[in-house]
Amino acid sequence: MIPEAPIQARDRRTIWIVSGGAEAVPGIERAKAMGLRVVVSDGSGEAPGLALADHPVIVSTYDADATLAAARDFRQRHGPIDGVLCIAADVPLTVATVAAGLGLPGIPVPAAQLAMDKLAMKRRLVEAGIPVPWFAPVRSVAELQTLLAERGPQLVLKPVDSRGARGVLRLSAGTDPDWAFHHARSVSPSARVMVEAYLPGPQVSTEALLIDGTGHTVGFADRNYEHLERYAPYVIENGGEQPSALEPDVCQAIAGLAIRAGRALGIETGVVKGDMVLTEQGPAVIEIAARLSGGWFSTTQIPLASGVDLIGAAIRVALGERPEAADLAIRQGRPAVAIRYFFPSPGRVRAIEGIEAVRALPWVHQLGFFVSAGEVLAPVTDHTRRAGYVITTGDSRDEAVARAREIVESRIRIRTEPA
């Protein structure tokens, strides 16, 4: 499987991992396998990663100052911390704040601030000449109505600082501007909303590790949005697959743009995750995240499809090491990989059927559920409402996708009844 990173701990160095969520668990395990002392911080005492940590620390992953205070306290009691990173949690500001406060490697705090603010990020990208959708802040319903009148309804309204597609709305002539504005604003921690032109075209996820300004793209997946109409006005991604169906030179252009965008935000060494669109005019940036991705992309799908130990490499970078380019080179002969999500009918979950038979299939790499029997499922409005996922492999992209679809469409049944 994944080659062991060629490192031997000099002594037991300490890595601080911000987030102990389920998706961080493979990263926490990787850090331990690298011989590191692992501190995990998370605001929820239930977070599964805390149980694996050498030192669990209860502090909100979003609270940068409290995490820095906890890290200083830890250092006093337990000795040096050598690196900090987050895994599958969108908290680059917490990580950058701890890194700056303790003098550890990390991206600059201003870069992390830009990555946490979709409006400031896009302003910076425009200054750097990076193609992004037209965008504008929206301060009121009246302002939204004016923009709709001027530009037409082909707009996306979104909170400036949320995630998981919460409050991201693709507007249409039928959308009530008053409802849309208040809905998007309700999920913004700073109560700020923006609009963007909706960019049609294939959407891809890229993930690169930048080392001293040189980007190494190890993840490149086509994102699946076949349910756009079904869940409108919500924008729900249904899965993704590697390798991309796009031509290699197009992939290179998209990956290169994401790396340029990351550098424009001020990242020279660190992870750059791109949400990209291929428009008729060429690639454009929807968003850059300054951290390892979630959705089992960085931890599972990328190593499976590329053979690259991205998490191990990112941990080494967080410790101030420099992985070789060869460590980040995509291996030949890797399987195609697909992920698809479950979207059962809303209601109370009666049963989830077919799990054991599906887990026994050799091409099912991972099957997971976020819901269990008895739970009441609300209608899907964002990515946190997906019910589960399956990750499959295949000899070709089409085979991996067909297998994943078969599982979500027929082999697994999530039975619900009216609540």
Ligand X SMILES: Nc1ncnc2c1ncn2[C@@H]1O[C@H](COP(=O)(O)OP(=O)(O)OP(=O)(O)O)[C@@H](O)[C@H]1O
Is 82 a binding residue for Mg ion by CB under 5 A? The answer is no
The answer to whether 300 and 227 have CB atoms below 8 angstroms apart is no
Cis status, amide bond into 108, omega within 30 of 0: no
Is 133 a binding residue for ligand X by CB under 6 A? The answer is yes
Is 114 a binding residue for ligand X by CB under 6 A? The answer is no
142, 121, 384: which is closest to 265 by C-alpha? 121
Q: Which is nearer to ligand X, 198 or 370 (CB)?
A: 198
Contacted by 277, from Mg ion, ligand X, none: CB < 5 to 8 Å by type: ligand X
Contacted by 273, from ligand X, Mg ion, none: CB < 5 to 8 Å by type: none
Is 199 a binding residue for ligand X by CB under 6 A? The answer is yes
The answer to whether 56 and 38 have CB atoms below 8 angstroms apart is no
Options 103-111, 195-203, 303-311, 366-374: segment touching ligand X (CB under 6 A): 195-203
**What is the closest distance, in whole angstroms, from the C-beta atom of residue 275 to Mg ion in the complex?**
5
**What is the closest distance, in whole angstroms, from the C-beta atom of residue 151 to ligand X in the complex?**
12
The interface with ligand X within residues 144-183 (CB under 6 A) comprises 156, 158, 162-166, 168
Maximum CA pair distance of the chain? 64
Is 196 a binding residue for ligand X by CB under 6 A? The answer is yes
Q: Which is nearer to Mg ion, 29 or 275 (CB)?
A: 275
Q: Which is nearer to Mg ion, 16 or 231 (CB)?
A: 231
Contacted by 133, from ligand X, Mg ion, none: CB < 5 to 8 Å by type: ligand X
Contacted by 183, from Mg ion, ligand X, none: CB < 5 to 8 Å by type: none
Is 84 a binding residue for ligand X by CB under 6 A? The answer is no
Is 369 a binding residue for ligand X by CB under 6 A? The answer is no
Structural tokens at position 11: 């002594």
Q: Which is nearer to ligand X, 63 or 275 (CB)?
A: 275
Is 309 a binding residue for ligand X by CB under 6 A? The answer is no
Q: Which is nearer to ligand X, 363 or 370 (CB)?
A: 370
**What is the closest distance, in whole angstroms, from the C-beta atom of residue 163 to ligand X in the complex?**
4
SS (H, E, C) the chain: CCCCCCCCCCCCCEEEEECCCHHHHHHHHHHHHCCCEEEEEECCCCCHHHHHCCEEEECCCCCHHHHHHHHHHHHHHHCCCCEEEEECCCCHHHHHHHHHHHCCCCCCHHHHHHHCCHHHHHHHHHHCCCCCCCEEEECCHHHHHHHHHHHCCCEEEEECCCCCCCCCEECCCCCCHHHHHHHHHHCCCCCCEEEEECCCCCEEEEEEEEECCEEEEEEEEEEECCCCCCCCCECCCCEEEECCCCCHHHHHHHHHHHHHHHHHHCCCCEEEEEEEEEECCEEEEEEEECCECCCCHHHHHHHHHHCCCHHHHHHHHHCCCCCCHHHHCCCCCCCEEEEEEECCCCEEEEEEECHHHHHCCCCEEEEEECCCCCCEECCCCCHHHCCEEEEEEECCHHHHHHHHHHHHHHHCEEEEECC
Is 382 a binding residue for Mg ion by CB under 5 A? The answer is no
Options 22-30, 231-239, 284-292, 297-305: segment touching Mg ion (CB under 5 A): 284-292
Q: Which is nearer to ligand X, 107 or 277 (CB)?
A: 277
Contacted by 161, from Mg ion, ligand X, none: CB < 5 to 8 Å by type: none
Contacted by 196, from Mg ion, ligand X, none: CB < 5 to 8 Å by type: ligand X
Is 91 a binding residue for ligand X by CB under 6 A? The answer is no
Options 123-131, 197-205, 209-217, 302-310: segment touching ligand X (CB under 6 A): 197-205
Is 273 a binding residue for ligand X by CB under 6 A? The answer is no
Is 287 a binding residue for ligand X by CB under 6 A? The answer is yes
CA count, 13 A, side-chain hemisphere, 217: 21
- Binder among 287, 309, 327, 382 for Mg ion (CB under 5 A): 287
Q: What does the binding site for ligand X look like in residue numbers (CB under 6 A)?
A: 118, 133, 156, 158, 162-166, 168, 196, 198-199, 203, 235, 275, 277, 286-287, 383
What residues line the site for Mg ion (CB under 5 A)? 275, 287
